[in-house]
Structure 1
Amino acid sequence: MNRKPCKTELSRALGLLCLALASGSALAQEAAPAAAAPANEEAVELDAVTVRGFRQSLQYSTEAKRDSTGFTDSIFSEDIGKFPDTNIAESLARIPGIQLNRDVNGEGTNIAIRGLPSSFTKTTINGASVATASIGLDATNQNREVDLNMFPTEFFNQITVYKSPVASLPEGGASGVVDMRNMRPFDISGNHVTYSLQADYNDNSKKASPRGSVIANWNSEDGRFGALVGLTSTRGKLGVEGYETIGWTNPNLTNDQCLGNGDQAGFPSLGQPCNVTGGNGWRIPNTVPGTAIGLTPGETIDAEWLLANNPGLTTAQIGEALIPRLGRPVHMSGDRDRDGFLGSFQWRPNDSMEFRLDTLYTKAHRTNSRVDMNLIGRNGQMIPQNMQLDENNVVTRADFTNAQFFLEHREYIEDVQYWQINPGATFWFGDDQNVKLDVQASTSRSWMFRESPTILVNSPFTTLEYTNSGDTPTWNTPLDLNDPNLGWTWAGGRLNVQNEKRVTETSGFRADLQLGEDRNNIKLGVAWDQNQRRIQGFDNSGAWEDLVCRGLNADGSTPDPRPACNGGGTALLSDAALAGYLRRGPHGFIVVDADRFKNDTNYAFYRDTAPESGGPNTGGATGGFDEETFAAYVEVNGETEVLDRNVRFNVGMRYVQTDQEVAGPVTIGEVRQWQSLTGDYSEWLPSFSAAWDVADNVVLRMSGSRTMTRPNPSSMLPATTFTDMSAQVANQGNPDLTPYISTNFDLGGEWYTGGEGFVGLTLFNKRVEGYTFQGVTTRPFRSLGIPFEDLDPTQQVALNNRGGPDVATVNVQQQVNADAELEIRGWEAIWVQPLSFVLQGLGFMANYTDLDIKTLGKDASALSGNVYGVAPSMWNATTYWENDVASVRLSYTWAEGAAGTGPNQQGIPFAQIYGEDRGQLDLSASYTLKNIRSQPQLTFNVLNLTGEERRSYFAFPNAVNDMYDPGRTVTVGIRGTF
């Protein structure tokens, strides 16, 4: 598919402005963010005071912002191998407009910029594209997100966030571009070896986690060659306490239970006095079963019975009573190990050329023993007595009988690797060297394999007292859920063998020609990039269950009919044998001796022979994409004067052409095969930025641009299925999705108060086209890419009756681009202020961001389900003090809660999942032993000082959806440089 560029009024204006400036203004180069100053620099003059460390990092950031033409923010390392925070994402959270996404263990994983999800952020290393295969504990990486926790902070000395684009930047980030620059040998004068040793202690895992790094830098005496090599290693421990519900549900009452009319022929439809809102995932039995302790078996449970046993309630209220679908305390423990290598080499054979080679490799091994005890709500048959509800029909207290629990013991074993090779060269031409050619190539690959065996067993039926009066529901039951001999059973249980493999690959080349000196020039460039990703799920659960809990024939075949998973017959493990694999757990309920269980049931064989499935248990679909992109740009940079004050400007145009192929498995007529779909599109992306020095210490800025993010790969995968035997309706991915296009305007400025201090305010507006929703398009059958002969005979006949496969059309349900726009308006403010007049070395920094998001256009209502998880407001503040030997820093980051999903959760139309407000307080301190060789610095850090939890709720604040407590982590360490 060819897509012509959208000609908005802004793009026309920018194009005219580009021509005017190119023809009538002096040529100039936009001042790039300042390169990282030598990390071993002894001192920087700041208000006549010698500073380094955090204040030095702030000053470099302030200078880079002041020198830039557009809207950029940078973070610099404090010293060799010392970034201000232990995680790159945590550092970025200190930038205005940045929303940090945290995993369930509290670790920052990726960022979102100015109201758009994290997949709208383009991430690069040294200007080269980054794609990671890791997915985090809560498996949220299903699109184009980049998990920043794969990259050791010790290897980087500068991170720049471009909120307004320039034509020479790679496209793909509609909300912004984050470029991480690794250390290079010429950044550091002389020869040095820097070491760092630390130990973390988390109060949930209650284990120490060592980590260390060493970075060696060498430069030749003539300054022509340099080499930098770094190694890092982390042996982390995971400890998370939490609670999950998988949503909430209400009972599905019969007519007799609802109306008391004796009619049990059917269930009431929506609009009847009971069950008016849907849900209905909890079933109160018609009669008392023998498993209901304390009640008379066979007794009728009708409206009269429910009213008598739940005084004060009506049957309409009982029909809307909300309980967790699976109320479960959850505990996670395991290892979070990571090793990394950086090699960077630079060679200047003469003053007219320079060659460089950057190599980065990281690998991670992660395990997670995840155990939870589930009170069965969904599909369960609990009988309520003495039930009490609040005004929202949330159950606050009840006595339940016929209740049952199940243990879910799931192991995650995951290996991830990432490597990138980034060679490049710069050449200067002419006597004044005002012509510069920069060329760069890159290639990267990331690979992940995760296995997640699951063992699920059920308790006997019981009674319990249920209470929901705090953050999470609780229960009291006479069962000892921590007793392996309680009578746990396979009946209703299950076993899972589920694997996931992900591979991402990128390749690229770019060439940039600069005509003119650094502040006045024309830049021309071309770029070629390729991005590939493949996700595969594998599942052998049925075969493992057949052996362990269902039973096989003597010859190893599966009996027909297939028995239930109840440990009977020839099953390898009966209920009696099951108890031998259970043991008392540390959390008040049993756990499985997982290693012994897997060894005795031949788990490794079923894991290694698992066939490919439609998708992994993390929610991604099996399939992949391959995108090849060509881009060309022209960029003009210059300076002029307005009212005798200097104006710097950057204006440019970038053209990009993308060819893509998406592929995935489809099953038609019981034939499974991989299907490929292709598409292409092109875009023109204009950009303009200007900075006006209206006073000696005041800079005003404005920027206008169009940016893009490519479509969600999951929405493009084939996954073709027919929903009827007439082959008239099909579900399929849409490879013809056009990109998300954002038209942006920014206006702001800063007042620089001296040293690292400044006050800044920015107003911004984004209009995003291309958001998708589930629509229906009518397409010829042949365009679906499915062989006619693979269809069911009935479907073939139906197509022939409609004119044959070359004529017949099909109604295809798929994601389509909406005829609407997403408008994001907001403002961000920042204040960085040294307070040396109060106390030498004292200062603070703070920023605040406020967002207003709405949808406009014909399909505006259809977009509402795509604009979730964005905090309407956020802020962070840091107070710091440091002198030559000591420093203390206290930082607080806060984000307002927001709707995380659309309505109709678990079949309840009004129900949405909301994230709660969350703030986190962190402490960092250090003391340098100046009189000892290498000047070792003792460090002390505390993350999440107040032990804040991450919590979301289902429709109402007292209906928790999930809650995770990552605990607080204390770190002590030592670092120094020889």
Structure 2
Amino acid sequence: MKHPQISKTQRPARARLHPVAWASSVALLTGAAAVQAQQAAGDTQSLETVVVTGIRKSLDSAVTLKRESRGLVDGIVAEDIGKFPDTNLAESMQRIAGVSIDRNASGEGSKVTVRGVGPDFNMVLLNGRQMPTSVINQLNNGASGSRAFDFANLSSDSISALEVYKTARAESPTGGIGATINVKTARPLDLRERVASIGIKANYDQSVSRLPNELQGSKVTPEISGIYSDTFGNRTLGIAISGSYSKRSSGSNNAYTQNGWLSEAYNKVGGAFDGVPAGNLKNFPTSGYYTHTNDMRYSVTGLDRERLNGQAVLQFAPTKELKFTVDYTAAVNTVKSKNIENSAWFGPSFSGALNGSPQTTFTSGSVSTPIVQTATWDGTHDYGMNAGLFAQKTKLGSTGFNAAWKVSDALSFDLDAHHSTSKTSPDSPYGTYAVMDLALFNQGNTTAYYDQKLPIMSSPGLAYDSNKTNVTGSQFYSNLSDQTVDQVQLRGTYRLGSDDKLLAGLGFTKLNNRAASANNFHGDWSGIGPQGGFKNVPVSQYGLGGLFSQIPGHNDPRLFSTFFVPDFNALRAQAIANAVKYGTSSTGNVPLSQAAAEAYFAAPTDYSQPGASDWRTIEKSTSAYGQWDHSFDTSIPMNVSVGLRYESTTVDSSSQVTAYTGTDWYAQNEVKLTGGTSTFGNKSGKYTYWLPSVDWDADLTDKLKVRASFGVNIGRPGFDKMLGGTQLNADSARYNVPGSGSAGDPALKPLKSKNLDLSAEYYYAKSSYVAVGAFYKKVSDFITTTTVSTTFAGLNQPASGTYYQAALASGITADRPDLIRNYIFNNYGTQAGVTKTGVANGIIQGDILGTVPGTQPLAFNITSYKNGAGDNIKGLEFNFQHMFGNSGFGVSGNFTYVKSGLKFNNNSDSSAPQAPLVGISNSANLVGFYENETWSIRGAYNWRGQFLAATTDGAGNNPIYTEPYGQVDASIGYKIGKNLTLQADLLNLNDGYIRQHGRTSDEVLSALQTGRRYLIGARYRF
């Protein structure tokens, strides 16, 4: 969306500053004095005659945008059509003060956080139009309710500019309480020349070489892009066509926990903890909270991404007063990966010296964390080896129409309409994500150490024995996200005079969102057939430490030495053969037909099946705004914009839920819900807001500008928080562990943010400036996550009835569910609700239903949402840019400090409700460059401080903090003649890793390693 400015007459500098100017500028003048002293008196005049191109042109355009805009606007402008400063749009935006990025598993920037406000609350526009987004939870977590736009789907090659509007304005669409980000593409009638160019690159990703051979993709992959734009018929007709294709292979190695760290209140009885002898524990807390890990995993992923972007624009201007534009934008992003994971289960198992293993040792503090935790296993426990495939395809399409009519010198209208879709769906016969679980049944005592950056697992005696392997589970997920945006915007501008302008507009937006997930999940924990039935499946072995060579601790002698790599296709083929011969424990060990066995290990295609998720939300918004822009022709030139926006939204949510009739304790630790039938729950909501905004700026001198802005904006809830019914997780319950579920409310209010901004900018030389700004956001109606414990009629805990109590009375302890089940089968095997199906490894197989006598209701922890009180976000931004005369050298940088009361309370248990703001962090950038007629060289360092990345892990309401991270990038361009440019982009030169932790830095959640990336290519301009 265009934001026209009232032109201002430049006045010569005055000999004396107005007293207000002195008061407003003394801080900036002090900070800029040293930089300004480097400029000779004639430098500014000589710079005026320089022909600016490339990096300098891009920075000059960004400075002009910042200086002449109403409110606080920062941007990045392409160095040339088809040449954006970075290879990724998100990575370009991180150079802007206050903007931080989230990186995906391959280390590439994908989503942005602005001034501490996360990706879900930043509005992304394409040429002023709201863009749809389709996000699915990666791996096996199902549908997603995120509103965050994934910039990894868009190539930077056809982008002409990025504009980041940090202040609320009446004419800007709502939804971006952090910022409104406008992505602009080239328009042929806006260009003054024909543009035709083509570029090619070779992409080498070092991370590929750090993978096992079976997962490695191509080390060198291609990128190609091109653009053609021209005008005809005396500039009455314009055509622009652009396109790009890129393929990338990469890898990531991650040491992590999938099921998180469980935080619980202190509880100790009679010198023991939950049956753990006191001698096994060192420094166990006597008050406060303690935590423990549930599992430790080492995962390696080989990823292949293929991205195709294209845009076509047709413009027709029959007169100078009338212009029509029709455009189509398409993006297809295909991502496929192979994943191998090795894992050990711990849970609340605190072993130690009494078992001949290291003591479980806790840190001190309000939340005590074990930096040494030992699990006691008898030498037959299962060590996990998972093989997975991930495949999804995202298709983005946007068709738009715009008519701009200048009725007179005073009056003009702009009509814009578009239909845009984004859909992410499975791209494999195995669904979005598929995994086969191969277990090695010879694990003994295992210890986790958390005193290194890399989590260290020690398991003496563990070695591969093909005769002790079995497939213990399989998961095939089909996840779908489909969103459509239909939008019409009418805008009128009326100039009352040279100093006054009225703006008014109407907008109608319909957003239709669907997020669905279906899974074929089987927990055959006792195996499929006898142990050794998978001995012919190839399993390669690699050195575990060598896969994490960049993370401190990889050479720790305590680290288990081997990483096992099974073959997914061979595992699935053998599992089908075994299911045909032996059946599976989930089907009562009754042999399956060939067709049934193949369907058993395949992805579902029906999102209406019991247990599936299907969320459907329709948002209809009507908006209207009025804005008055005025320029004061006074001794100090000033501008003011006063606006008011009306926003009314209705929400209709229809989500599929499954009603269950019973429960089944079908394996040692597993309880599942049975008798599921699908239905839909429906709810609706509505909210209306009046959103005022005021922007003021003053040119205290021809070099010094000050600004003040106030505005109110809203950020809409995620789609997962507006579900129409309560969805129970059929496989979430465990032995003596509650089940889980989720519920939403479409009547939730959006977040409301009152924003105040103050800034001063000193443009002391051409292309050079320093700036400082302060911002304050008062956020209310924040959406709080809370967990409510409840029960449902007919759903009982099978491990609670008369038979269960009899087993305990016989002397069996509660921590031996295998022996309890054996007791029930042996003593009550002929009773109703108890069915024995077989014996495997000395453990009786079968079902114990929730209908057996005396069972108690099964508790469910239901995650729900409500509006909370909120808090504030405040911060400071510092910017500078300096050109060293005509030398060709320049430097720019920024630092952003952000603080908020919306923090996670670490001193609580995992069930306590939390209302923090995700993404708040300090950030900094430093960019240096040199450019002349032949060379263009740029180096950049980006740093982001620690931030809260998520509020839940696999164990409940627990924080995930991403630790401080910095990255060094560089680019080198060499021009040959007028038309050919050679280019090299060097990314992640410092080869950093990303680490995440929980409530304390010892609670390691993830340590992710990728690698350096090099792109070498050329661009030819015709």
Length-normalised TM-score, structure 1? 0.77
CA distance in 1, matches of 2:242, 2:167: 33
- Measure how far apart 1:408 and its partner are: 1.5
CA distance in 2, matches of 1:136, 1:83: 30
- Measure how far apart 1:892 and its partner are: 0.9
2:202 — aligned with what?
199
AA at the equivalent of 1:375: A
Find the residue that maps to 1:153 and give its secondary structure. coil
Does residue 538 of the first structure (1) align with residue 518 of the second (2)?
yes
- Measure how far apart 1:183 and its partner are: 1.2
Find the residue that maps to 2:189 and give its secondary structure. helix
Equivalent pair of 1:274/1:315 in contact (CA under 8 Å): no
Taking a change above 3 Å as real, the CA distance of residues 409 and 688 of structure 1, as seen in their structure-2 partners, is same
2:803 — aligned with what?
none
1:339 — aligned with what?
308
Taking a change above 3 Å as real, the CA distance of residues 89 and 577 of structure 1, as seen in their structure-2 partners, is same
Taking a change above 3 Å as real, the CA distance of residues 731 and 105 of structure 1, as seen in their structure-2 partners, is closer
Equivalent pair of 2:403/2:415 in contact (CA under 8 Å): yes
CA distance in 2, matches of 1:49, 1:386: 71
CA distance in 1, matches of 2:299, 2:107: 15
Taking a change above 3 Å as real, the CA distance of residues 518 and 928 of structure 1, as seen in their structure-2 partners, is farther
CA distance in 2, matches of 1:32, 1:160: 20
What per-residue deviation string (whole Å, max 9, x for no partner) do you get for residues 792-846 of structure 1? 899xxxxxxxxxxxxxxxx998855445232111111100111237xx1111111
1:711 pairs with 706, 712, 717, which one? 717
Equivalent pair of 2:891/2:928 in contact (CA under 8 Å): yes
What per-residue deviation string (whole Å, max 9, x for no partner) do you get for residues 394-421 of structure 1? 3348696536421111210111111001
What per-residue deviation string (whole Å, max 9, x for no partner) do you get for residues 843-880 of structure 1? 11111111121259xxxx99982324334321111111
CA distance in 1, matches of 2:374, 2:865: 46
Does residue 121 of the first structure (1) align with residue 122 of the second (2)?
yes
Gap regions ≥5 residues in structure 2: 9-44, 210-218, 427-431, 544-561, 577-596, 662-675, 730-739, 797-859
Equivalent pair of 2:785/2:914 in contact (CA under 8 Å): no
CA distance in 2, matches of 1:664, 1:397: 42
1:692 — aligned with what?
698
Taking a change above 3 Å as real, the CA distance of residues 713 and 609 of structure 1, as seen in their structure-2 partners, is closer
Equivalent pair of 2:785/2:913 in contact (CA under 8 Å): no
1:930 — aligned with what?
977
Which range moved further: 316-325 or 157-166? 316-325
CA distance in 2, matches of 1:380, 1:793: 29
AA at the equivalent of 2:344: L
2:340 — aligned with what?
371
Question: Percent identical across equivalent pairs?
Answer: 20
Taking a change above 3 Å as real, the CA distance of residues 396 and 512 of structure 1, as seen in their structure-2 partners, is same
CA distance in 2, matches of 1:417, 1:377: 41
AA at the equivalent of 1:118: P
1:434 pairs with 410, 416, 423, which one? 410
Which range moved further: 954-963 or 52-61? 954-963
Equivalent pair of 2:106/2:303 in contact (CA under 8 Å): no
CA distance in 2, matches of 1:180, 1:590: 45
1:354 — aligned with what?
323
AA at the equivalent of 1:531: L
2:607 pairs with 606, 612, 632, which one? 612
Equivalent pair of 2:943/2:967 in contact (CA under 8 Å): yes
2:650 — aligned with what?
659
Does residue 583 of the first structure (1) align with residue 539 of the second (2)?
yes
CA distance in 2, matches of 1:518, 1:424: 27
1:411 pairs with 379, 389, 402, which one? 389
2:833 — aligned with what?
none
CA distance in 1, matches of 2:939, 2:795: 70
CA distance in 2, matches of 1:922, 1:180: 23
Taking a change above 3 Å as real, the CA distance of residues 269 and 122 of structure 1, as seen in their structure-2 partners, is closer
Equivalent pair of 1:868/1:900 in contact (CA under 8 Å): no
1:160 pairs with 135, 159, 163, which one? 163
- Measure how far apart 1:772 and its partner are: 2.1
2:455 pairs with 473, 486, 492, which one? 473
- Measure how far apart 1:189 and its partner are: 2.9
Equivalent pair of 1:614/1:622 in contact (CA under 8 Å): no
Taking a change above 3 Å as real, the CA distance of residues 637 and 673 of structure 1, as seen in their structure-2 partners, is same
CA distance in 1, matches of 2:116, 2:266: 40
1:953 — aligned with what?
997
How do 1:571-970 and structure 2 match up within 5 A?
Answer: 575-586=531-542, 588-598=562-572, 601=576, 603=598, 607=602, 609-612=604-607, 622-642=614-634, 644-668=635-659, 671-720=677-726, 732-774=743-785, 815=864, 817-818=866-867, 820-836=869-885, 840-854=887-901, 865-901=914-950, 906=955, 912-930=959-977, 935-970=979-1014
Equivalent pair of 2:608/2:678 in contact (CA under 8 Å): no
Taking a change above 3 Å as real, the CA distance of residues 605 and 871 of structure 1, as seen in their structure-2 partners, is same
CA distance in 2, matches of 1:904, 1:191: 53
AA at the equivalent of 1:222: N
Taking a change above 3 Å as real, the CA distance of residues 168 and 487 of structure 1, as seen in their structure-2 partners, is same
Taking a change above 3 Å as real, the CA distance of residues 930 and 135 of structure 1, as seen in their structure-2 partners, is farther
AA at the equivalent of 1:360: T
Length-normalised TM-score, structure 2? 0.74
Find the residue that maps to 1:437 and give its secondary structure. strand
Find the residue that maps to 1:61 and give its secondary structure. helix
1:298 — aligned with what?
none
Equivalent pair of 1:384/1:398 in contact (CA under 8 Å): no
Find the residue that maps to 2:746 and give its secondary structure. coil
Find the residue that maps to 1:653 and give its secondary structure. strand
Equivalent pair of 1:387/1:399 in contact (CA under 8 Å): no
1:559 — aligned with what?
none
Equivalent pair of 2:785/2:915 in contact (CA under 8 Å): no
AA at the equivalent of 1:441: A
- Measure how far apart 1:774 and its partner are: 4.8
Equivalent pair of 1:249/1:378 in contact (CA under 8 Å): no
- Measure how far apart 1:465 and its partner are: 7.0
AA at the equivalent of 2:187: R
Find the residue that maps to 1:205 and give its secondary structure. helix
CA distance in 2, matches of 1:399, 1:607: 34
- Measure how far apart 1:915 and its partner are: 1.9
1:212 — aligned with what?
224
AA at the equivalent of 1:412: F
Gap regions ≥5 residues in structure 1: 1-27, 34-43, 253-267, 285-301, 551-563, 569-573, 724-728, 778-789, 795-810
CA distance in 2, matches of 1:532, 1:86: 31
AA at the equivalent of 1:371: I
Equivalent pair of 2:350/2:360 in contact (CA under 8 Å): no
CA distance in 2, matches of 1:904, 1:224: 58
Taking a change above 3 Å as real, the CA distance of residues 317 and 368 of structure 1, as seen in their structure-2 partners, is farther
Taking a change above 3 Å as real, the CA distance of residues 186 and 141 of structure 1, as seen in their structure-2 partners, is farther
- Measure how far apart 1:387 and its partner are: 2.7
- Measure how far apart 1:234 and its partner are: 0.8
Taking a change above 3 Å as real, the CA distance of residues 902 and 156 of structure 1, as seen in their structure-2 partners, is closer
CA distance in 1, matches of 2:399, 2:195: 24
Equivalent pair of 1:122/1:177 in contact (CA under 8 Å): yes
What per-residue deviation string (whole Å, max 9, x for no partner) do you get for residues 133-166 of structure 1? 1347578963211101111111110111111122
Taking a change above 3 Å as real, the CA distance of residues 950 and 604 of structure 1, as seen in their structure-2 partners, is farther
Which range moved further: 600-609 or 816-825? 600-609
CA distance in 1, matches of 2:78, 2:284: 64
2:191 — aligned with what?
188
2:435 — aligned with what?
454
AA at the equivalent of 1:540: N
Find the residue that maps to 2:51 and give its secondary structure. strand
- Measure how far apart 1:902 and its partner are: 5.2
- Measure how far apart 1:32 and its partner are: 10
2:108 — aligned with what?
107
What per-residue deviation string (whole Å, max 9, x for no partner) do you get for residues 576-609 of structure 1? 3422233315564332322344466465785454
AA at the equivalent of 2:337: N
- Measure how far apart 1:210 and its partner are: 1.2
Equivalent pair of 1:925/1:939 in contact (CA under 8 Å): yes
- Measure how far apart 1:469 and its partner are: 3.9
